[in-house]
Each structure stands twice: as C-alpha cells, then as structure tokens.
Copies of this chain bind each other. A is one copy, B any other.
Amino acid sequence: MDKTEQIFKGAISVFVKKGMQATTQEVAKEAGVAEVTLYRRYSTKENLFITVIKHVLERKFGSHVLEIAKEDDTELFLTNIIEDRLEVLSKNDDLVRMLLSESLRGNLTDKINLPEIIFSSLKKGLDSHFTRKDYKVDIDFCARQLGGVFLSYLILPNDYPFNKLTKQDRKDIARKHAKSILSTI
C-alpha cells in the first residue's frame, strides 16, 4: 500500500468535506497515518492542501472534449459539450463547492486558478469546433451559461427540483442553453 496514495485519499476526503479548515488530525486519522508524518512530508497544512488538490484536479477535470468537438452540427455540439462539462462538475460537486468557497475567500489566489481549471476544457472544445466554421460564439458568454447552470446546482437547497435532475433533464437544459447561445451569433 502506497503511503502517498493513502494520504492523498484521506486528505481529499476530509478536505472536500471541510475545506482548508479541516485539521491535520482529521486528515491523519482518515488516512491512517500519524499526524507527524504529514508534517514531515508536507511541512504545513496549507502545502498539503495545495499539493493534494492540484493532484486531484489534474485527474478529474481532464476530458474528451476534443471528441465532442468533432460533431459538425453546432447546436448539437454545444448541447453535448455543456452537458459533458455539467456532468463532470456534477460528479465532483462537493469538490467544486469547496474549491469555489475557498476561492471566493481568497484562499486559493496564486496557488490554484479555479476558473482556468473549470473552463479550460470548455474553451478548448469551443476553439476546436469553431476553427472549422466561418462563425463563432462568444466564449465568455458560453462560460457564463455553464457557470449559471452550475451555480444553481450548487446553491439551491437539496430538495429543490433542480438538484434532482435526470440525465434527460440535464440534456434538455444543456440544449436550451445551447440554443440561446446560438441565437446570439
């Protein structure tokens, strides 16, 4: 059993729940290592946090957007990429919620570029698709569409219908936003 892997798993699980406020004691317990080991390896709690988060972000936000971008019909493409990004975000909603919270508090400045991480795949996909077209959409406008959808998802209470969407519902919403993006061209 790789100790590093063990620490990362435990740390992520704790940090996602409690953010940077989580204690090294909790992390150590969850990871099944001694607290002092964390300090010997990462010196500070902050450094542990940043290291672990960067690691997990690389893994989770990579994507197959370039596949999606091959779709030639723009409305379909937009629908698909929004749906895809929405799915990635939804699957990691606890993580994103925590990161957004820390980011708003200014705890991530200079260390983790959250907007870049969240939207880079979207932008890559859009760039790829629209190089083949003689028109293009406003990328920031698209990002705002996606951001709005996801913000709703994050802040609305659990019993709100928006948080009980089926895959089909998500697709419908994605399509609706795709259409509204297209209409601005």
Q: Is the interface of A mostly helix, strand, loop or mixed?
A: helix
Please give the count of copies of this chain that the complex contains: 2
Which residue of B has the minimal Cβ distance to A142? B148
Once the chains are docked, how many angstroms separate the CA of A109 from the CA of B177?
29
The number of residues on chain A lying at the interface, defined by a beta carbon within 8 Å of a beta carbon of chain B, is 36
Interface centre among A100, A138, A151 (most CB of B within 10 A): A151
Whether the Cβ atoms of A100 and B143 lie closer than 8 Å is no
Q: Name A residues whose Cβ lies closer than 8 Å to a Cβ of B.
A: 19, 97-98, 100-105, 109, 114-115, 138, 140-141, 143-149, 151-152, 154-157, 162, 176-177, 179-181, 183-184
Selected A-B contacts with CB under 8 Å, 10 pairs = A19-B105, A98-B105, A100-B100, A104-B104, A104-B154, A104-B155, A143-B148, A147-B147, A179-B184, A180-B180
